[in-house]
Amino acid sequence: MAYATENWLYMRTEIAINHPTFIKLFHDLPLENVVTEKEKCAQRSDDVSRMGECYRAVLYGERKCVFDLGCDRCYWSYANSRVMFPREMFPMLLKDSEGNLVERPKGKENVINKCSIKYVLLLTRDDSSKPVKLLDVDEAVNILKEGKFVIRPGSGPPERWGQYGYEPFYNPYPPEHNLKVEEEFFRSLYKAGVKFYLLNTGTYEGKKITIHQTHMYIRHIVED
């Protein structure tokens, strides 16, 4: 049985660039590192190769800057800006009485605080792994033990952004590491019938794997 340890989600606010619904939802919530002045845009650079995607698009006239549109903040200027987001506020797509898809808050009654573990989904961001792969126990344990991840902009010193970091079993704040105990725990999950999947959120065969594709793969896994 797994239990939720947090009542709020510590989310990256950059999700709002592709999902504008979150812009109004974030507005009155606790925020961290959100840029509030155009002149402080974290994507600015004199080097085109180091410009952020949004800043470059604005520079080339492909989109409007949110500050020029009258906004008082930009949720995607800094890659590691965050929001404390109540789980019950998370938007869901539901069908109304006429069969149309509408967005509604999840609501406290739909927030799950405990559940039986059936799947463990491991994420990677690379250009070689398949979008989704069912793992055997040794493959899963090796990935977990290595704890390899891409250091995103805003996480750690700038000179390490885009490089790989390593956190065994993806646990950055352990009181102490006992790799044998941690390995035995995940092997016991596998023996109990839990399935382990590796999901690639990077690229495959030269094509970007979108968030929507990843969501589709997850739905397919849990509905199978």
Same-domain status, 30 and 122: no
Average pLDDT score, the chain: 91
Same-domain status, 52 and 127: no
**What is the identity of the amino acid at 198?**
L
Question: Quick one: pLDDT at residue 136?
Answer: 97
Task: Give per-residue pLDDT as tens, 67-103.
Answer: 999 999 999 999 889 999 999 999 988 888 888 888 8
Q: How many domains, the chain?
A: 2
46, 75, 110 - which closes a domain: 110
Task: Give per-residue pLDDT as tens, 17-39.
Answer: 988 999 999 999 999 999 999 99
Question: Quick one: pLDDT at residue 174?
Answer: 80
User: What domain range is 61 assigned to?
Assistant: 2-110
pLDDT over 90 at 158, yes or no: no
Same-domain status, 131 and 77: no
71, 93, 110 - which closes a domain: 110
Question: Quick one: pLDDT at residue 5?
Answer: 86
Question: Quick one: pLDDT at residue 171?
Answer: 86
Rg of the chain over all Cα atoms, to the nearest angstrom: 20
Task: Give per-residue pLDDT as tens, 107-148.
Answer: 999 999 999 999 999 999 999 999 999 999 999 999 999 999
Same-domain status, 105 and 7: yes
d(CA 141, CA 147): 10
Task: Give per-residue pLDDT as tens, 188-212.
Answer: 999 999 999 999 999 999 999 998 8
79, 110, 141 - which closes a domain: 110
**What pTM was estimated for this model as a whole?**
0.78
Question: Quick one: pLDDT at residue 150?
Answer: 84
Q: How confident is the model at residue 9 (pLDDT cuts 50, 70, 90)?
A: very high
